[in-house]
Amino acid sequence: MKILMQQSRDSSGLDIDEWDIGIIGSPLDDRGYAATGFVQQKVKKVIHMTVLQQEFRFKLDNHTYDVDDADEAFQDMTGKSVLIESTTLGFVEILLISSALLKSNGNEVSYLYIEPKEYRRERKSLVLHRRDFDLSGEVPGYQAIPGYSLILLDNVNQKVIFFAGYESSRLEKALEDCPWILSKNASIVFGVPAFNPGWEIDSFTNNIAVISERNLTGGIHFAGATNPLAAYDLLISVHNGLEASEQLFIAPIGTKPLAIGIALFAIEKDNIGILYDHPIKKPGRTGDIANWHLFKAMVK
């Protein structure tokens, strides 16, 4: 897989293509509106996508498909230039689209992502909760994504990689829901450099207690929070070092650009287990917009 990346303070600084199709999700905050507005201007056709996780289905505009039928659903887009608006789409959507469109050599897909200027913090208490963020509403919990789910048993030879974000409860819940994860085999990837200098401290502080209490000793890694290539490369190097019987589980619970790198890795390799908790994101979870990113993934 070849991954190209560009970044700019605003959309005018991006070297952009013309796209046939743009796939967007529902905007929840300033950057979401900016991103979907941009897509609507720059592509010939816009398609809205929603995943109905409990149903194992997804919708493209008004058409509903089974997750298992993703290849057929996106068949008409093969060979066309597609822009995936990843600010408003979730990890599952990105995985399904990428998997369907990046099957053959020469295929390519672009991803737009806009950083927020700030994340919403909880107004609950100043003293003890100043690093708490109010990003997710209901969290259905860790549920399988067909095509990317492996059974976890205590005798499964495993390596588990968590890409951590601000909400340490997502990491903790994975360990609670999947007690077969062996702490010695679990490693954490922090998004460093973060979107803004200093933001990584929130992620460290929130997750360090879980890492320590759960005695996660598989190692700590770093990958730039806005850098899907770093996530992809890191996973390739971990994958290359796996023992024959070892199975790799990845939890994309960090930043979206890292989730894109994970999706690109997962669709390229066989037998990758994805652990994902499908949080329902809160409206207005971030404020204002910061840097714009355009990534392009190509099958080599």
Partner 1 sequence: MNKNQSIEGALSQNRAEEQGNDLWEDFVIPPFYKKLDLLIAKKPRVIVGGRGCGKTMLLKYLSHNSQFSPNRSQIPSDTIYHIGIYWRVDTHFASMMTKRSLSDDTWINAFSHLASLLIGIEIFKSLNTIAKSSFEGLGQDDINKLDLAALRNFDPGMPTTAGDCERHLTDRLWQFQTWLNNVRKIPDPVFLPTSFIKVIISQIKEQFTVLENANYFVYLDEYENLLPEQQRIVNTWLKHSEMPLIFNLAMKRSSFNERQTIGNESLVAINDYRDFDLEKFYVDENAFDSFAAEILFLRLSKNGVRDLPIVPADLRDVDKLEFRNNTDYKTKLIACAQKMFPGFSQAQLAKDVFKDKPLKDRLKSQISAALSYRNSKISVSKFMKDKIPESVIIVPALLYRKRERPEDILSQLENQLKGLENHFTGKRGWTHNFFVGCLLLLYEPLNRICPIYSGFKTFCQMANGNIRYLLELCHRSIANADVINSNSIKILQKHQSAAAKQTSTSFLGEIRNFGRYGNRLHTFVLRLGGLFNHGHRRKTQSEPEPTHFSIVINTQPLSDEHQQFLAEAIKWSVIFEAPSTKDKSPLDSETTEYILNPIYAPYFKISYRKGRKLTISSQDFRNLIDGSVNDYERLLKNYISKWEVETSNGTQSLFSELNLAK
Residue 154 region by backbone torsions, left for phi larger than 0, else alpha for psi between -120 and 50, else beta? alpha
* Shortest spacing between CB 32 and partner 1, in angstroms: 20
67 near partner 1, judged by CB under 8 A: yes
| CA–CA separation, 90 and 95 (whole Å) | 9
**Region from 27-35, 83-91, 100-108, 145-153 binding partner 1, contact rule CB under 8 A:** 145-153
Amino acid present at 183: S
Binding segment (CB under 8 A) for partner 1, from list 13-21, 28-36, 67-75, 86-94:
67-75
101 membership: H or E segment, kind and range:
helix 91-101
- Specify the stretch interacting with partner 1 by CB under 8 A; choose among 174-182, 184-192, 254-262, 285-293: 174-182
**What is the CA angle 232-237-243, rounded to 5?**
130
Q: Shortest Cβ distance from residue 60 to partner 1 (Å)?
A: 17
Separation between Cα atoms, residue 110 and residue 19, nearest integer Å: 9
Shortest CB 224 distance to partner 1, Å: 27
Per CB under 8 A, the segment of 15-23, 42-50, 140-148, 288-296 that binds partner 1 is 140-148
Return the closest-CA partner of residue 161 out of 171, 176, 149: 171
Using rule CB under 8 A, residue 76 touches partner 1: no
223 strand-pairing partners: 191
Q: How far is the CB of 19 from partner 1 (least distance, A)?
A: 29
Least distance (Å) between residue 132 CB and partner 1: 9
Give the residue from 29, 43, 51 showing the smallest Cα distance to 83: 43
Give one DSSP letter per residue of 72-84, joined into a string.
Answer: HHTGGGTTS-EEE
Is the distance from CB of 163 to CB of 230 less than 8 angstroms?
A: no
Among 104, 126, 198, 300, binds partner 1 (CB under 8 A): 126
Told to check if 150 binds partner 1 by CB under 8 A, we report: yes
Asked if 234 touches partner 1 (CB under 8 A), the answer is no
Q: Are 19 and 81 in contact (CB under 8 A)?
A: yes
- The least CB distance from residue 291 to partner 1, in Å, is 28
Q: Which parts of this chain interact with partner 1 (CB under 8 A)?
A: 55-57, 66-69, 123-128, 136-154, 167-169, 172-173, 176-180, 209, 213, 275
